[in-house]
Amino acid sequence: MKTLFILNDAPYGSERTYNGLRLAGAIAKQEGNEVHIFLIGDASSAAHRNQKVPQGFYNVEVMIGNVIRHGGKVGVCGTCMDARGLADSDLTEGTHRSTLAELAQWTAWSDKALVF
C-alpha cells in the first residue's frame, strides 16, 4: 500500500504532527508499504535539523528519521520554508525542499492520502 501523509500543524504545541508521524512510522515498518510525508504550513518546521527537546519529550526530527530509515520520503513545502526563514541547509538529513507540483504527483501516486 502507498500512503501519503500531509501534515499541516506545528511540530510542538499540538499533537497532530506527532500522531501523524507515529502512524506514518508504524505503516512504514510494515512489509510492502511505502510512505511519503509532505510537510506544509507550520509543519515545515518539523524537518528542522538538530532539535533539542526536554528529556522524555518526543522529538519529531527523530520520528521523521525513523520513517526515512524504512524507505519513506519526506518533502517540505519550499514556499512554507521561505515564509519561515528555513534554508535547505536547515533541513534534517533525508528530507528535501519540495513543491506543490511534487505534492500533486505524490497524491496521484498514493492509494491513500491522510491529512493531519
Tens-place pLDDT, residues 3-57: 999 999 999 999 999 999 999 999 999 999 999 999 999 999 999 999 999 888 8
Nearest-angstrom CA–CA distance, 93 and 9: 21
Q: What is the pLDDT of residue 18?
A: 97
> Is residue 98's pLDDT more than 90?
yes
> Which residues make beta-bridge pairs with 13?
none
Q: What is the mean pLDDT of residues 59-63?
A: 97
Q: What is the pLDDT of residue 56?
A: 87
> In terms of Cα–Cα distance, which of 37, 35, 55 is closest to 46?
37
Q: Which fold has domain 2-115?
A: Hypothetical Protein Ychn; Chain: A, (3.40.1260)
> In terms of Cα–Cα distance, which of 80, 96, 4 is closest to 43?
80
pLDDT interval class at 80 (50, 70, 90): very high
> Is residue 81's pLDDT more than 90?
yes
Q: List C-alpha distances in Å: 95 to 14, 31, 36, 57.
A: 22, 22, 11, 22
> Is residue 109's pLDDT more than 90?
yes
pTM for the whole thing? 0.96
